[in-house]
Structure 1
Amino acid sequence: MECTAGIHSFESMGTVDGPGIRYVIFFQGCPLRCKFCHNRDTWTTRHSRSYTLSHIMQNIRRARPYFQGSGGGVTATGGEPLLQAGFVAELFRACQAEGIHTALDTSGYAAVQGPVAEVLDHTDLVLLDIKHMDDEIHREYIGVPNTRVFEFMRELDRRSLPVWVRHVIVPGYTDDLAHADRFGHFVSQFPSVQRVELLPYHEMGVHKWEALGEQYPLKGVQPPSDEVMQQLRTVVAERGLPVV
């Protein structure tokens, strides 16, 4: 019987989830509970649709003329795609067999063994979202400890897998200079990091919480100013990192 996956949605012309134009697959389900999550509707697996590998590969082949010339490829995101690591491993294996670039957009909250290790075996680029350097604050805002994420980063470096690190700047949470320096110090230890993206917090996902009848935890928090973003980028860049 062919393997299937629970999928939230697809984006055929993605431009922010890896190099070039990407065919982006949003997997359903996530073990994290980020208070600033902009895809709140991906947490549970109850609202997904089931797709076979052959169906998804057929769609990828149709989209290939649009992304291939741009240096793009396929990105698995979510939710957390590693909750369905067995399927992602088969997907990435099939993509690489056809010369299609694979990118994994993940929180890194996964032990690198079994199917997760197989995913990394067939991954060309990892987009790793590091939420916060302090474990206690990480537990408060994200719902889980950060130690597993840091170990995941170390495993990526051991494998010499190219990594783009992403870090969301949330006022009152990750917008102070001391934390930015601590973050930069940690990331600068890993030669496999090719790029660091500091992403300003936004409110575009608030309506998804409201549609589920839930109160948005950070209601009233405004996006950081351009001045604050530039200050933080400067601090992180001083660690010798390529910051965008």
Structure 2
Amino acid sequence: MRPPKTHAPAGTHSSTDFGYLHSVESGAAVDGPGMRFVFFMAGCLFRCVYCHNPDTWKLHNGRKITVDDAVAEIKPYAGFLRMAGGVTISGGEPLMQAPFVGEMFKRFKSELGLHTALDTQGYLHASMDDEWFDNVDLVLLDIKHSDPEVYQRLTAQPLQPTLDFAHRLQRLQKPIWLRYVLVPGWTDGHDDIARLADFVADLGPIVERVEVLPFHQMGTQKWAQLGMDYPLAGAPTPTPESTAEARSIFAERGLTVF
């Protein structure tokens, strides 16, 4: 049974006539299979303490574009991308602009024949019909933590909508690449990782891979440029041993891990 559609939360963008784009990357190798053209949409309701792109948070700070603009921007690369990879829509949080992003995916599929990937936390999925996902081939799903209280402190948003989204993708049989950022003192607890690994394994074969991403300090300068104190200034990066241990917890449950 299809879940009831809810109204989009305040602060989101509901127009299909135009959207807000933060930036693009034409040769990304870490945002889905193969080489990707990535649209980074503006706007995010999360306030992750380790965010390395806080400049994407404000929706209207982005460049105003139409779907025609987006198609024109990627079209010169389409022939190569059809053979070597595809297109990924990321952010920020792309579901902040779900109607517009849905039109982008539709055009990329129907006109350019591209493999499509959505990079999201899934928090805003409840306002979207199942048909919205018809033009999405792969979901890069970010689950920041498995403990609801820690998740709230880490992101300023509740965990449950993201878990519900994962179950929705299971029902739709939509392939997932799970992404988990390993932050010392925040997300590296054995029991917390094991709890998440159990949840992910229960989703079944739609989870094609798990990516454990070691925390880094590359976003520090952006916080400073925005006049904001970086909550994790001076925090260490994970050791190779702790990263290997985290990956092994997922692998022990039969998951393919990177």
TM range (shorter): over 0.9
SS in 1 for 2:125: coil
2:86 pairs with 64, 67, 73, which one? 73
Q: What's the offset of the Cα at 1:65?
A: 3.1
Q: Which amino acid aligns with 2:92?
A: G
- Residue 142 of structure 2 corresponds to residue 145 of structure 1: no
How far apart, CA to CA, are the structure 2 residues paired with 1:111 and 1:15? 26
Please give the per-residue CA displacement for 1:181-224, whole angstroms capped at 9, x wherever unaligned.
11110100012111000000001011110000000001110110
CA positional deviation for 1:121: 2.1
User: Shift of the alpha carbon at 1:118?
Assistant: 4.1
1:218 pairs with one of 232, 237, 245: 232
- Give the aligned length: 242
Q: Which residue of 2 aligns with 1:136?
A: 149
- TM-score where L is the length of structure 1: 0.96
Q: Does 1:37 align with 2:33?
A: no
Structure 2 gaps of 5+ residues are 1-14
- The reply to whether residue 3 of structure 1 matches residue 17 of structure 2 is yes
Shift of 1:66: 3.2
Q: 2:102 is matched with which residue?
A: 89
- Where 1:153 maps in the other structure, the secondary structure is helix
Cα 1:119–1:208, aligned 2, differ >3 Å: closer, same or farther? farther
Mapped pair 1:174 → 2:187: yes
Measured against aligned partners, the alpha-carbon deviations of 1:138-158 in whole angstroms (never above 9, x if no partner) come to 111110110000000000000
Query: Aligned partners of 2:200 and 2:70: how far apart in 1?
Result: 34
Shift of 1:120: 1.5
CA distance in 2, matches of 1:154, 1:40: 29
1:88-129 C-alpha deviation (Å, 9 max, x unpaired): 111111111131111000011113343x64431210000000
Residue 183 of structure 1 corresponds to which residue in structure 2?
A: 196
Work out the CA distance in 1 between the residues paired with 2:153 and 2:189.
Answer: 17
Distance, in Å, in 2 between the alignment partners of 1:65 and 1:216 is 41
Find the aligned partners of 1:241 and 1:188 in 2 and give their Cα distance. 7
Shift of 1:175: 0.8
In 1, distance between residues paired with 2:115 and 2:125?
24
Give % identity.
43
8 Å contact 2:146–2:193 — kept in the other structure?
no
Out of 6, 20, 31, the residue aligned to residue 34 of structure 2 is 20
> What is the RMSD computed on CA atoms of the aligned residues?
1.4
Moved over 6 A (4+): none
Is 2:172 the partner of 1:154?
Answer: no
Q: Report deviation, 1:136.
A: 0.6
2:220 to 199, 203, 206: 206
- Contact 1:112 1:155 (8 Å CA) reproduced: no
